[in-house]
Amino acid sequence: MVISPLLDNRHWQLHVWELKGAPDTWRRQLDEDFAREPVMAAIAGLGGSQWKPVHDFCEASEVPCLFANVEVPDDEPGDFYSIYYSRGVLLEAGLVARQLAQTLKDRHGATLRQIYRTGDSGEAGARALAAALQGSGVDVSSQALGAGKPGAGVAAALRGAAKADALMLWLRPADLEALNDVTPGSAAVYLSGVMGGLEHAPVPATWRPRTHMAYPVDLPDKRVVRVDYPLGWFRFRHIPVVAEQVQADTYMACGILAETLNHMADMIDPDYLVERIQEMLDHRYLTGYYPRLTLAPGQTLASKGGYLVRFTEPAGTQVVADGEWMVP
């Protein structure tokens, strides 16, 4: 979604830019959209595992790109116009790396096996985790599953990793359901919460005692009041909730933008919009899924940390943190 000011600088118009085809064609589409409809900002875009063409367009065109719903955001030195809630799977890699560096530091020849699907967000997460563990003494290997039928190849990959000290599963719920076909070994298991569905990840009862989930948001019982605000707004307007975090994050992004524009008065300038968000964000109490959002000049990531959590029961969604909130 993008917005543009009308002539009187007090009313705003929403445009929907829908990108089609391969990501390497997106930049051309964005340039054409921008030439046809010059806009002030892009707000709460939906990109999943692909976003770099949009990020590069916004930086080059000086269009603020605010709080996109993406799992692999770009965060390069010198970026200014792109603001994200968190680093997504890249943050998860940091959380898991910190834990593994501690738990495996005294185990000579310790091994980590990562499993992900080619072309999905886990591919970037696996690269980030391998890079973070360089020099730690942990031998990291990865197995990429080809794109195809959900669940295909997961059981075989797990059997092939039976001797590893730790497993990292960068898998979607449909692939996690294939864990039912494999008996867990002795390895400690780590799971991407972003990809797996957070506390709704379908981890079988036999796997739960040894599974730790990277969890880059606040715990369910701590965020419930904050998240109830957007959920109540959706209920009042009869809007179905089909992707709770995406919808709650989008609701909050629109709220942050509206509040910032109110403080800007008639000073309509993209750079000033970004600077005002940087200044105002850490004063916000309603932070949705996140315990705190804060920015400063030169920062593009509003939430910097997360937890490792585990399930407390053989079934259900109850999770408990292994420790305190961590900033890797």
320 lies in some domain: no
Question: Do residues 103 and 197 both lie within one domain?
Answer: yes
pLDDT at 264 over 90: no
314 lies in some domain: no
Question: Do residues 84 and 101 both lie within one domain?
Answer: no
315 lies in some domain: no
pLDDT, tens only, 189-245: 999 999 999 999 999 999 999 999 999 999 999 999 999 999 999 999 999 999 999
pLDDT, tens only, 277-314: 999 999 999 999 999 999 999 899 999 999 999 999 99
Q: State the Cα–Cα distance between residues 141 and 154, nearest whole angstrom.
A: 16
Its domain, for residue 209, covers 89-215
Q: State the Cα–Cα distance between residues 74 and 129, nearest whole angstrom.
A: 16
Please answer whether residues 99 and 81 qualify as being in contact, where contact means their C-beta atoms are separated by less than 8 angstroms. no
Pick the last residue of a domain from 215, 233, 251: 215
Q: What is the pLDDT of residue 7?
A: 42
The CATH number of whichever domain residue 162 belongs to comes to 3.40.50.2300
Pick the last residue of a domain from 215, 231, 254: 215
pLDDT, tens only, 34-52: 999 999 999 999 987 889 9
Model confidence pTM above 0.75: yes
Please answer whether residues 260 and 71 qualify as being in contact, where contact means their C-beta atoms are separated by less than 8 angstroms. no
Q: State the Cα–Cα distance between residues 8 and 22, nearest whole angstrom.
A: 38
